[in-house]
Amino acid sequence: MLILVTGGAGFIGSHIVSVFTGAGHEVRVLDALLPAAHHTPPPVPDDVDWRHADVRDRRAVLDALRGVDAVCHQAAMVGLGKDFADAPDYVGSNDLGTAVLLASMAESWVPRLVLASSMVVYGEGRYECARHGVVRPGPRRIAELDAGRFEPPCPRCGEPLSAGLVGEDAPTDPRNVYAATKLAQEDLAASWARATGGRVAALRYHNVYGPGMPRDTPYAGVASLFRSALARGEAPRVFEDGGQRRDFVHVRDVAGANLSALSGLSGLPEGGLRAYNVGSGDPHTVGEMAAALAMAHGGQASVVTGEYRLGDVRHITASSRRLRDELGWKPEVDFAEGMAEFAVDPLRAG
């Protein structure tokens, strides 16, 4: 197949390109090389047809769709951003960009889409109260966070909750601009599928890490920020009390999930979107991740600072059973092995 990978010059996109070409597919990449993601253009593999363009540029997208069998849409502005002033850029790149891409796919009769979504569409993870069963805590209050009370209490009785795994059918509840744009991408893709009879697999990635991760910017993920601190000879600074639970999934496994989704698309119902969590299934705390990286790097031990960011959620871990059961995917890189490799691998210069 000929596959258009948008954002194929990025961290995850470049691994997808290698996995797709390795599986015998032809790949075309469209990427705007956003300055937030790249200071210097990355090397483009020889066997890839390369288009330097923005997904909002309809003419460039229509041209890039010529002869394409399926699209793997990774292009997006990622991370929490610096402040709310970033909102128009996020919405522009992620939602207007997706709308232009989908309209162009409708016009070009390209009926298959693998969409990079995110666990951020869920907001907080799944919580259970001993008395009230499954509950949905609202955003955490500033006064609570200032007092170092990071665990969201039961919204009904105020008692402590236990955190569990989110399934794809859990209600969505985006808590920041980036999250809102990722959910809107799914909603737009679902509308496109209904209108055109197309098929979409929306892959809700968890915390992706691994080789080629961009160096620390306000947009980078926590693993990259810790790794960059170690490279500067500094201690990784862990926010809150370090007890935030996440699912760190290796970028090669995420690329593999894209290949499984691409192969499984034809088995999905026509005119619909199917969401899949993409996580390792082996949750760890942010504190454990910092400690594992620091130990493998051989630098300073991590420090827990008690600082917080308002947009952050406390725990978010999900079950990725659906992806395993329906599309036959299985993660191959385990936490200790992946972190040990990541601790010494060079980061992308940016």
Ligand X SMILES: NC(=O)c1ccc[n+]([C@@H]2O[C@H](COP(=O)([O-])OP(=O)(O)OC[C@H]3O[C@@H](n4cnc5c(N)ncnc54)[C@H](O)[C@@H]3O)[C@@H](O)[C@H]2O)c1
Contact positions vs Zn ion (CB under 5 A): 129, 131-132, 154, 156-157
Name the binder of 93 from Zn ion, ligand X, none, CB < 5-8 A by kind.
Answer: ligand X
SS3 for the chain is: CEEEEECCCCHHHHHHHHHHHHCCCEEEEEECCCCCCCCCCCCCCCCEEEEECCCCCHHHHHHHCCCCCEEEECCCCCCCCCCHHHHHHHHHHHHHHHHHHHHHHHHHCCCEEEEEEEHHHHCCCEEEECCCEEECCCCCCHHHHHCCCCCCCCCCCCCCCEEECECCCCCCCCCCHHHHHHHHHHHHHHHHHHHHCCEEEEEEECEEECCCCECCCCCCCHHHHHHHHHHCCCCCEECCCCCCEECEEEHHHHHHHHHHHHHHHHHCCCCEEEEEEECCCCCEEHHHHHHHHHHHHCCCCCEECCCCCCCCCCCECECCHHHHHHHCCCCCCCHHHHHHHHHHCCCECC
* 74 scored as a contact of ligand X (CB under 6 A): yes
HSE of 176, CA atoms in CB hemisphere, 13 A: 21
Query: Residue 154's binding partner, choosing from Zn ion, ligand X, none, with beta-carbon cut-off 5 to 8 A by kind?
Result: Zn ion
CA distances in angstroms from 258 to 127, 243, 245, 329, listed in the order given: 29, 30, 24, 9
Among 90, 205, 276, 308, binds ligand X (CB under 6 A): 205
CB of 157 to Zn ion, least distance (A): 3
Please choose, out of 81-89, 137-145, 154-162, 204-212, the segment that lies near ligand X by the rule CB under 6 A.
204-212
Task: Return d(Cα 314, Cα 243) in angstroms, integer.
Answer: 8
All residues at 6 or more sequence positions from 212 whose CB lies less than 8 Å from its CB, including other chains: 11, 14, 15, 251, 347, 348
Instruction: Mark the segment that binds ligand X (CB under 6 A) among 27-35, 61-69, 81-89, 128-136.
Output: 27-35
| 201 makes contact with ligand X (CB under 6 A) | no
The reply to whether 229 sits near ligand X by the rule CB under 6 A is no
**Of 76 and 129, which has the nearer Cβ to ligand X?**
76
106/135 with CB nearer Zn ion: 135
| Residue 77 binds ligand X (CB under 6 A) | yes
Q: In the complex with ligand X, which residue's Cβ is closer, 163 or 208?
A: 208
**Which range, of 29-37, 259-267, 282-290, 314-322, touches ligand X by CB under 6 A?**
29-37
Nearest residue to 53 via CA among 1, 108, 93, 3: 93
At closest approach, how far in Å is the CB of 132 from Zn ion? 4
For ligand X, the closer of residues 34 and 343 by Cβ is: 34
CB nearer ligand X, residue 78 or residue 257: 78
Q: How far is the CB of 267 from ligand X (least distance, A)?
A: 23
Segment 43-72, which members bind ligand X (CB under 6 A)? 54-56
User: For residues 222 and 294, which CB has a smaller minimum distance to ligand X in the complex?
Assistant: 222
Query: Count residues contacting ligand X (CB under 6 A)?
Result: 31
Q: Find which of Zn ion, ligand X, none residue 11 binds, CB within 5 to 8 Å per kind.
A: ligand X
Minimum Å gap between C-beta 223 and ligand X is 8
Taking the least distance from each CB to ligand X, the nearer of 129 and 201 is 201
CA geometry: angle at 309 spanning 307 and 311, to 5°? 160
Q: Is 34 one of the binding residues for ligand X (CB under 6 A)?
A: yes
Q: Does 11 bind ligand X (CB under 6 A)?
A: yes
Among 33, 103, 106, 295, binds ligand X (CB under 6 A): 33
Name the residue nearer to ligand X (CB basis): 161 or 203: 203
Site residues (vs ligand X, CB under 6 A):
6-7, 9-13, 31-34, 37-38, 54-56, 74-78, 93, 97, 116, 118, 182, 205, 207-208, 214, 221
